[in-house]
Structure 1
Amino acid sequence: MSILETGDFRERIRQSFDRQGAMAMLDAELTRVEQAMIEIELPYSEKLTQQHGFLHAGVISAALDTACTYAAYTTIAPDASILTIEFKVNLLSPGRGERFLFRGEITKPGSTIIVADGRGYAIGDGPAKLIASMTASMMVIRGRQDIVG
Protein backbone atom coordinates (compact mmCIF):
# COMPACT_ATOMS: atom_id res chain seq x y z
CA MET A 1 0.00 0.00 0.00
CA SER A 2 1.49 3.32 -1.06
CA ILE A 3 0.75 6.08 1.41
CA LEU A 4 1.76 9.74 1.11
CA GLU A 5 3.71 11.53 3.82
CA THR A 6 0.72 12.79 5.76
CA GLY A 7 2.27 14.81 8.56
CA ASP A 8 0.66 14.70 11.97
CA PHE A 9 -2.55 13.09 10.74
CA ARG A 10 -3.61 12.02 14.26
CA GLU A 11 -3.99 15.57 15.55
CA ARG A 12 -5.54 16.78 12.28
CA ILE A 13 -8.14 13.97 12.44
CA ARG A 14 -8.92 14.56 16.13
CA GLN A 15 -9.52 18.27 15.48
CA SER A 16 -11.72 17.52 12.46
CA PHE A 17 -13.70 14.86 14.36
CA ASP A 18 -14.30 17.32 17.19
CA ARG A 19 -16.00 19.66 14.67
CA GLN A 20 -18.52 17.00 13.63
CA GLY A 21 -21.93 17.82 15.06
CA ALA A 22 -23.38 14.50 13.89
CA MET A 23 -20.83 12.44 15.82
CA ALA A 24 -21.30 14.62 18.92
CA MET A 25 -25.07 14.11 18.67
CA LEU A 26 -24.48 10.32 18.62
CA ASP A 27 -22.12 10.62 21.61
CA ALA A 28 -19.49 8.95 19.41
CA GLU A 29 -15.85 8.88 20.45
CA LEU A 30 -12.74 8.57 18.31
CA THR A 31 -10.93 5.76 20.13
CA ARG A 32 -8.15 4.68 17.76
CA VAL A 33 -6.26 6.57 15.05
CA GLU A 34 -3.64 4.61 13.11
CA GLN A 35 -2.23 4.83 9.60
CA ALA A 36 -5.02 3.61 7.28
CA MET A 37 -7.29 2.58 10.19
CA ILE A 38 -9.74 4.38 12.48
CA GLU A 39 -12.02 3.19 15.26
CA ILE A 40 -15.06 5.02 16.58
CA GLU A 41 -17.16 3.86 19.53
CA LEU A 42 -20.53 4.88 20.82
CA PRO A 43 -22.67 3.75 23.74
CA TYR A 44 -26.12 2.24 23.38
CA SER A 45 -28.81 4.88 23.69
CA GLU A 46 -32.52 4.40 23.26
CA LYS A 47 -32.52 7.68 21.32
CA LEU A 48 -30.48 5.98 18.56
CA THR A 49 -32.75 2.95 18.04
CA GLN A 50 -35.42 1.97 15.59
CA GLN A 51 -38.86 0.68 16.56
CA HIS A 52 -37.58 -2.73 17.77
CA GLY A 53 -34.92 -1.25 20.05
CA PHE A 54 -31.95 -2.07 17.77
CA LEU A 55 -29.37 0.53 16.79
CA HIS A 56 -30.84 2.32 13.76
CA ALA A 57 -29.37 1.50 10.34
CA GLY A 58 -28.85 5.23 9.72
CA VAL A 59 -26.70 5.50 12.85
CA ILE A 60 -24.72 2.43 11.83
CA SER A 61 -24.20 3.86 8.34
CA ALA A 62 -23.15 7.28 9.64
CA ALA A 63 -20.61 5.80 12.05
CA LEU A 64 -19.15 3.46 9.43
CA ASP A 65 -18.98 6.27 6.85
CA THR A 66 -17.15 8.47 9.36
CA ALA A 67 -14.68 5.70 10.27
CA CYS A 68 -13.95 4.99 6.60
CA THR A 69 -13.60 8.69 5.78
CA TYR A 70 -11.12 9.35 8.58
CA ALA A 71 -9.16 6.23 7.62
CA ALA A 72 -8.82 7.90 4.20
CA TYR A 73 -7.68 11.12 5.90
CA THR A 74 -4.66 9.25 7.26
CA THR A 75 -3.41 8.67 3.70
CA ILE A 76 -3.67 12.16 2.22
CA ALA A 77 -1.56 15.30 2.33
CA PRO A 78 -2.33 17.81 5.12
CA ASP A 79 -3.69 20.38 2.63
CA ALA A 80 -6.24 17.97 1.12
CA SER A 81 -9.65 16.84 2.34
CA ILE A 82 -12.06 13.95 1.73
CA LEU A 83 -15.69 13.63 0.66
CA THR A 84 -17.58 10.34 0.46
CA ILE A 85 -18.91 9.71 -3.04
CA GLU A 86 -20.44 6.24 -2.60
CA PHE A 87 -20.98 3.50 -0.06
CA LYS A 88 -22.78 0.22 0.38
CA VAL A 89 -23.78 -1.14 3.77
CA ASN A 90 -24.67 -4.73 4.60
CA LEU A 91 -26.63 -5.05 7.84
CA LEU A 92 -25.63 -8.49 9.11
CA SER A 93 -27.20 -8.75 12.55
CA PRO A 94 -29.42 -6.58 14.78
CA GLY A 95 -27.56 -3.75 16.50
CA ARG A 96 -27.98 -4.97 20.05
CA GLY A 97 -25.28 -4.27 22.65
CA GLU A 98 -24.03 -2.00 25.41
CA ARG A 99 -21.50 -0.30 23.10
CA PHE A 100 -20.71 -0.31 19.41
CA LEU A 101 -17.35 -0.21 17.65
CA PHE A 102 -16.94 0.97 14.06
CA ARG A 103 -13.64 0.35 12.28
CA GLY A 104 -12.67 1.83 8.92
CA GLU A 105 -9.64 0.50 7.02
CA ILE A 106 -8.15 1.53 3.72
CA THR A 107 -8.45 -1.10 1.00
CA LYS A 108 -6.99 0.97 -1.85
CA PRO A 109 -5.29 4.32 -1.30
CA GLY A 110 -5.16 6.72 -4.22
CA SER A 111 -4.40 10.28 -5.22
CA THR A 112 -7.97 10.96 -6.40
CA ILE A 113 -10.20 8.07 -5.25
CA ILE A 114 -9.70 6.03 -2.07
CA VAL A 115 -11.58 2.83 -1.23
CA ALA A 116 -12.17 1.75 2.35
CA ASP A 117 -13.93 -1.11 4.11
CA GLY A 118 -15.72 -0.73 7.40
CA ARG A 119 -16.96 -3.15 10.01
CA GLY A 120 -19.41 -2.47 12.83
CA TYR A 121 -19.50 -4.53 16.02
CA ALA A 122 -21.90 -4.78 18.95
CA ILE A 123 -20.15 -5.14 22.29
CA GLY A 124 -21.88 -6.60 25.32
CA ASP A 125 -21.77 -9.88 27.19
CA GLY A 126 -19.45 -12.25 25.35
CA PRO A 127 -17.37 -11.64 22.25
CA ALA A 128 -17.97 -8.66 19.95
CA LYS A 129 -20.55 -9.44 17.27
CA LEU A 130 -20.22 -8.25 13.67
CA ILE A 131 -23.41 -6.34 12.85
CA ALA A 132 -22.55 -4.49 9.63
CA SER A 133 -20.01 -4.07 6.87
CA MET A 134 -19.42 -1.20 4.46
CA THR A 135 -17.44 -0.57 1.31
CA ALA A 136 -16.95 3.13 0.61
CA SER A 137 -15.35 5.30 -2.03
CA MET A 138 -13.98 8.71 -1.14
CA MET A 139 -12.76 11.53 -3.35
CA VAL A 140 -9.69 13.54 -2.42
CA ILE A 141 -10.48 17.27 -2.51
CA ARG A 142 -7.79 19.89 -3.13
CA GLY A 143 -7.88 23.64 -3.63
CA ARG A 144 -11.45 24.27 -2.43
CA GLN A 145 -11.77 27.10 0.06
CA ASP A 146 -15.16 25.83 1.26
CA ILE A 147 -13.86 22.32 2.05
CA VAL A 148 -10.96 22.35 4.49
CA GLY A 149 -9.77 19.59 6.86
Structure 2
Amino acid sequence: MNEPLTEVEEQRLRERFQSVSFARLLKLELVELRRGTCILNINAREELSQLQGFTHGGALATLADTAAAFAVQTLLKPEERTVTVDLTIHFLRPLVEGRATARARVLRAGKRLLTVSVEICDPSSALISIVTTTYTKLM
Protein backbone atom coordinates (compact mmCIF):
# COMPACT_ATOMS: atom_id res chain seq x y z
CA MET A 1 0.00 0.00 0.00
CA ASN A 2 0.85 3.71 -0.08
CA GLU A 3 1.21 3.87 -3.86
CA PRO A 4 -0.25 6.88 -5.65
CA LEU A 5 -3.85 6.79 -6.82
CA THR A 6 -4.72 7.35 -10.45
CA GLU A 7 -5.84 10.89 -11.29
CA VAL A 8 -9.39 9.62 -11.80
CA GLU A 9 -9.42 7.85 -8.42
CA GLU A 10 -8.04 10.86 -6.59
CA GLN A 11 -10.48 13.25 -8.25
CA ARG A 12 -13.44 10.97 -7.39
CA LEU A 13 -12.38 10.76 -3.74
CA ARG A 14 -11.70 14.51 -3.46
CA GLU A 15 -15.20 15.17 -4.82
CA ARG A 16 -16.63 12.66 -2.35
CA PHE A 17 -14.73 14.39 0.48
CA GLN A 18 -16.25 17.75 -0.53
CA SER A 19 -19.71 16.17 -0.26
CA VAL A 20 -19.26 15.23 3.43
CA SER A 21 -21.32 17.91 5.19
CA PHE A 22 -19.88 17.29 8.66
CA ALA A 23 -16.31 17.55 7.36
CA ARG A 24 -17.22 20.91 5.79
CA LEU A 25 -18.83 22.05 9.05
CA LEU A 26 -15.60 21.31 10.94
CA LYS A 27 -13.53 22.74 8.06
CA LEU A 28 -11.43 19.59 7.68
CA GLU A 29 -8.74 19.89 5.01
CA LEU A 30 -7.81 16.99 2.75
CA VAL A 31 -4.02 17.06 2.37
CA GLU A 32 -3.09 13.77 0.74
CA LEU A 33 -4.56 10.51 -0.52
CA ARG A 34 -2.51 7.45 -1.40
CA ARG A 35 -3.49 3.81 -1.60
CA GLY A 36 -4.35 2.80 1.98
CA THR A 37 -3.52 6.19 3.51
CA CYS A 38 -5.04 9.62 4.03
CA ILE A 39 -3.81 12.83 5.66
CA LEU A 40 -6.26 15.46 6.95
CA ASN A 41 -5.87 18.70 8.91
CA ILE A 42 -8.07 20.63 11.30
CA ASN A 43 -7.36 24.07 12.72
CA ALA A 44 -7.95 24.76 16.41
CA ARG A 45 -10.46 27.56 16.81
CA GLU A 46 -12.86 28.88 19.40
CA GLU A 47 -16.00 27.22 18.03
CA LEU A 48 -14.32 23.79 18.41
CA SER A 49 -13.17 24.42 21.99
CA GLN A 50 -14.23 22.62 25.14
CA LEU A 51 -14.68 24.20 28.57
CA GLN A 52 -10.95 24.69 29.23
CA GLY A 53 -10.21 26.15 25.80
CA PHE A 54 -8.63 23.09 24.22
CA THR A 55 -9.93 21.58 20.97
CA HIS A 56 -12.85 19.31 21.84
CA GLY A 57 -12.13 15.59 21.75
CA GLY A 58 -15.17 15.05 19.55
CA ALA A 59 -13.64 17.23 16.84
CA LEU A 60 -10.41 15.22 17.01
CA ALA A 61 -12.34 11.93 16.94
CA THR A 62 -14.20 13.15 13.85
CA LEU A 63 -10.90 14.13 12.24
CA ALA A 64 -9.56 10.61 12.90
CA ASP A 65 -12.73 8.85 11.74
CA THR A 66 -12.85 10.86 8.52
CA ALA A 67 -9.16 10.31 7.76
CA ALA A 68 -9.59 6.58 8.39
CA ALA A 69 -12.72 6.41 6.25
CA PHE A 70 -10.92 7.98 3.30
CA ALA A 71 -7.88 5.75 3.74
CA VAL A 72 -10.33 2.84 3.46
CA GLN A 73 -12.04 4.40 0.42
CA THR A 74 -8.74 4.36 -1.48
CA LEU A 75 -8.90 0.54 -1.42
CA LEU A 76 -12.53 0.14 -2.49
CA LYS A 77 -14.38 0.04 -5.77
CA PRO A 78 -16.49 3.17 -6.38
CA GLU A 79 -19.74 1.32 -5.63
CA GLU A 80 -18.53 -0.21 -2.34
CA ARG A 81 -19.67 1.39 0.92
CA THR A 82 -18.45 1.04 4.51
CA VAL A 83 -19.41 2.14 8.00
CA THR A 84 -17.45 2.47 11.23
CA VAL A 85 -17.82 -0.56 13.51
CA ASP A 86 -15.70 0.77 16.37
CA LEU A 87 -13.28 3.54 17.18
CA THR A 88 -10.89 3.71 20.14
CA ILE A 89 -9.10 6.97 20.77
CA HIS A 90 -6.40 7.71 23.31
CA PHE A 91 -5.94 11.42 24.02
CA LEU A 92 -2.28 11.93 24.95
CA ARG A 93 -2.17 15.72 25.17
CA PRO A 94 -4.52 18.58 24.24
CA LEU A 95 -4.49 20.60 21.06
CA VAL A 96 -4.16 24.12 22.40
CA GLU A 97 -3.68 26.08 19.19
CA GLY A 98 -2.67 25.67 15.58
CA ARG A 99 -3.28 22.83 13.21
CA ALA A 100 -3.69 19.14 14.02
CA THR A 101 -2.71 16.62 11.34
CA ALA A 102 -4.24 13.14 11.17
CA ARG A 103 -2.35 10.41 9.34
CA ALA A 104 -4.48 7.33 8.69
CA ARG A 105 -3.10 4.01 7.49
CA VAL A 106 -5.01 0.82 6.71
CA LEU A 107 -3.38 -1.95 8.73
CA ARG A 108 -5.45 -4.82 7.35
CA ALA A 109 -8.02 -5.02 4.58
CA GLY A 110 -9.98 -8.26 4.80
CA LYS A 111 -12.93 -9.42 2.74
CA ARG A 112 -15.38 -7.69 5.05
CA LEU A 113 -13.48 -5.80 7.78
CA LEU A 114 -10.79 -3.13 7.47
CA THR A 115 -8.65 -2.03 10.42
CA VAL A 116 -7.07 1.42 10.43
CA SER A 117 -4.55 3.22 12.64
CA VAL A 118 -4.58 7.01 12.93
CA GLU A 119 -2.01 9.26 14.57
CA ILE A 120 -2.91 12.88 15.25
CA CYS A 121 -0.06 15.35 15.80
CA ASP A 122 0.06 19.01 16.78
CA PRO A 123 1.98 21.72 14.85
CA SER A 124 5.26 20.72 16.54
CA SER A 125 4.69 17.09 15.41
CA ALA A 126 4.01 16.00 19.01
CA LEU A 127 1.61 13.06 19.13
CA ILE A 128 -1.70 14.17 20.65
CA SER A 129 -3.96 11.18 19.89
CA ILE A 130 -3.70 7.56 18.81
CA VAL A 131 -6.73 5.93 17.21
CA THR A 132 -7.60 2.42 16.09
CA THR A 133 -10.80 1.92 14.16
CA THR A 134 -12.55 -0.82 12.20
CA TYR A 135 -14.86 -0.52 9.21
CA THR A 136 -17.18 -3.08 7.70
CA LYS A 137 -18.12 -3.31 4.06
CA LEU A 138 -21.85 -3.09 3.48
CA MET A 139 -23.04 -5.97 1.34
TM-score, length-normalised on structure 2? 0.91
Residue 52 of structure 1 and its aligned partner are, at CA, apart by 0.9
Displacement after TM superposition at 1:108 (Å): 0.3
After superposition, residues 35-50 of structure 1 pair within 5 angstroms as 35-50=35-50
Matched, 1:62 2:62: yes
1:145 is matched with: none
What are the Cα deviations for residues 82-119 of structure 1, in whole angstroms up to 9, with x where unaligned? Answer: 21111100001111231111111100012210000001
RMSD of Structure 2 on Structure 1 (CA):
2.0
Query: Is residue 129 of structure 1 aligned with residue 126 of structure 2?
Result: yes
Equivalent in the alignment of 1:114: 114
| C-alpha spacing 1:8/1:111, structure 2 compared with 1 (3 Å) | farther
2:137 aligned with 1:140, yes or no?
yes
AA matched with 1:51: L
**Alpha-carbon distance in 1 for matches of 2:7, 2:110:** 17
TM-fit CA distance, 1:81 = 1.4
Cα drift, residue 6 of structure 1? 9.0
Is this contact kept in 1: 2:54–2:96, CA < 8 A?
yes
Secondary structure, aligned partner of 2:24: helix
Q: What TM-score comes out, normalization by structure 1 length?
A: 0.85
Distance 1:72 1:7, change over 3 A: farther
Distance in 2, matches of 1:90 and 1:66, equals: 16
What residue identity is the alignment partner of 2:108? K
Match of 2:32 in 1: 32
State the distance in 1 between where 2:9 and 2:127 align. 28
The equivalences for 1:94-109 within 5 A come to: 94-109=94-109
- CA distance 1:112–1:8, change in 2 (3 Å): farther
Instruction: Give the gaps of 5 or more residues in structure 2.
Output: none
